[in-house]
A and B are shown apart, each in its own frame.
Chain A
């Protein structure tokens, strides 16, 4: 690996920009994600910035159990994030659909639609756990440029078994 690539990977690891997307969440996880940016947790120390546009983002943070209405939006936003990118599923809802399981309004869980890199479990997860998940996703992002990652960029349940999981 040459020097430029190594620098690039280090920078990817240290400057993850987030885009937050709600796929039908109850707002519990959204509040906790915003809490990460507050003075108590201060995610900016990791270089994290919450971006308004998915075009600027590196990490896509998705909350909610993926309602049928939001599936198209999830695909659009996922395509709009420019590579290399990582996806963090925040909360139990995107991982398992949680208490809404078997609801006919849902098309979840999330990994059936887009590849997920990190699952952060909890209902809602603590901000510390979300921060840990983002840090892990940033590390995966750093590896993606080098080809050392185990995670394949293909959609499907296979992504679930290979992705790392953070428990609250």
Chain B
């Protein structure tokens, strides 16, 4: 991949120019599906866009010192990391060179949640600190399962390259891994039943309690981009590969859409779980399946080697 295509992927498709409207679309689907499930009509279609512009135009309170600078830096860092992770998704065929790496994608997807933890602590709000502590615990609990699932997928197909993973035929073992990833996504996106860090009616807005105006707009955007990246990752791993680029893009968009719908309906249908139940769920229930996927992968590769 040369510099032009890399820039085009980062800035146009599936990068910023595609990802920002997609992020707003997914945020709207999230709100609209909750409204429909509750028998309401819900927000109008451009609502996330209105909210974003309105927040950008709002004033921010005066903040001095290092924590004031940090409070401006964290949301920008989160947005750029989330946008970078969307840009890495191998939707269009790349031509040689760096083709996107699963480990880099994981790191970029993890960065917004680390930013949120740091943001809550640097805001020095009591509710922010509680929210950050919860986010940290949540991150520790789902990441074990999430990483094991990614590892099992990578091990079953002998590659960490996203491009190759997208092109290889989907095996039943990969579906098991994708299922484990899907179980982790509600926690990664802080939606019900794992909306602990930003638990409204409980700790106000969690880590984002003190953020206002453009900073909050950036957090909203980062959240939307996380949606695009998470749905895009699952879509990449499950979409059947066809040589035609246009059909590929269509598959990617449709699958992402379906995943967002599924997660939103789950969020609308469930209530928030307590932190101890969440940790127990991931470490006792989900971990077994992730370990099972990994063990199956390792044994199957071993038998394949023995046979050959």
Name A's B-contacting residues (CB within 8 A). 7-8, 10-12, 14-15, 17, 39, 42, 44-45, 47, 51-53, 55-56, 58, 80, 82-84, 145
Are B210's CB and A58's CB within 8 A? no
Are A39's CB and B201's CB within 8 A? no
Cα distance A159–B222 in the bound complex, in angstroms:
39
Query: A11 — which chain B residues lie within 8 A by C-beta?
Result: 49-51, 53-54, 57
Classify chain B: how many residues form its interface, as a range: 20 to 34
Are A44's CB and B35's CB within 8 A? yes
Say yes or no for B193: interface residue by CB 8 A criterion: no
* Those 4 A-B pairs whose CB atoms lie nearest each other, nearest first: A52-B204, A11-B53, A55-B212, A15-B50
Min C-beta distance of A55 to chain B, whole Å: 4
Query: A51 — which chain B residues lie within 8 A by C-beta?
Result: 205
Are A45's CB and B41's CB within 8 A? yes
18 inter-chain pairs at a CB distance below 8 angstroms, sorted by A residue, are A8-B53, A11-B54, A11-B57, A12-B54, A14-B50, A15-B47, A39-B40, A42-B40, A42-B41, A42-B42, A47-B44, A53-B127, A53-B204, A55-B212, A56-B216, A82-B58, A82-B59, A84-B59
Q: State which of A42, A44, A45, A47 has its C-beta within 8 Å of the C-beta of B50.
A: A47
Are A55's CB and B57's CB within 8 A? no
Min C-beta distance of A50 to chain B, whole Å: 8
Cα distance A15–B53 in the bound complex, in angstroms:
9
Say yes or no for B139: interface residue by CB 8 A criterion: no
Are A83's CB and B47's CB within 8 A? no
Say yes or no for B192: interface residue by CB 8 A criterion: no
Query: A10 — which chain B residues lie within 8 A by C-beta?
Result: 50
Residue of A nearest to B210 (CB): A55
Are A45's CB and B43's CB within 8 A? yes
Cα distance A12–B44 in the bound complex, in angstroms:
14
Min C-beta distance of B247 to chain A, whole Å: 36
Query: B201 — which chain A residues lie within 8 A by C-beta?
Result: 52
Say yes or no for B31: interface residue by CB 8 A criterion: yes
Are A47's CB and B210's CB within 8 A? no
Residue of B nearest to A4 (CB): B57
Min C-beta distance of B267 to chain A, whole Å: 15
Query: B213 — which chain A residues lie within 8 A by C-beta?
Result: 82
Query: B39 — which chain A residues lie within 8 A by C-beta?
Result: 39
Cα distance A140–B146 in the bound complex, in angstroms:
48
Query: A80 — which chain B residues lie within 8 A by C-beta?
Result: 61
Min C-beta distance of B300 to chain A, whole Å: 49
Say yes or no for B200: interface residue by CB 8 A criterion: yes
Residue of B nearest to A12 (CB): B54
Are B212's CB and A82's CB within 8 A? yes
Say yes or no for B227: interface residue by CB 8 A criterion: no
Query: B42 — which chain A residues lie within 8 A by C-beta?
Result: 42, 44-45
Please judge, given known A-B contacts A39-B40, A47-B47, A52-B200, whether A83 and B54 are in contact too, CB under 8 Å. Answer: no
Min C-beta distance of B82 to chain A, whole Å: 20
Please judge, given known A-B contacts A52-B200, A52-B204, whether A7 and B53 are in contact too, CB under 8 Å. Answer: yes
Say yes or no for B5: interface residue by CB 8 A criterion: no
Say yes or no for B299: interface residue by CB 8 A criterion: no
Are B40's CB and A56's CB within 8 A? no
Query: B208 — which chain A residues lie within 8 A by C-beta?
Result: 53, 56
Cα distance A15–B50 in the bound complex, in angstroms:
6
Residue of B nearest to A41 (CB): B40
Cα distance A17–B52 in the bound complex, in angstroms:
12
Say yes or no for B211: interface residue by CB 8 A criterion: yes
Residue of A nearest to B204 (CB): A52
Query: B57 — which chain A residues lie within 8 A by C-beta?
Result: 8, 11-12, 145
Residue of B nearest to A52 (CB): B204
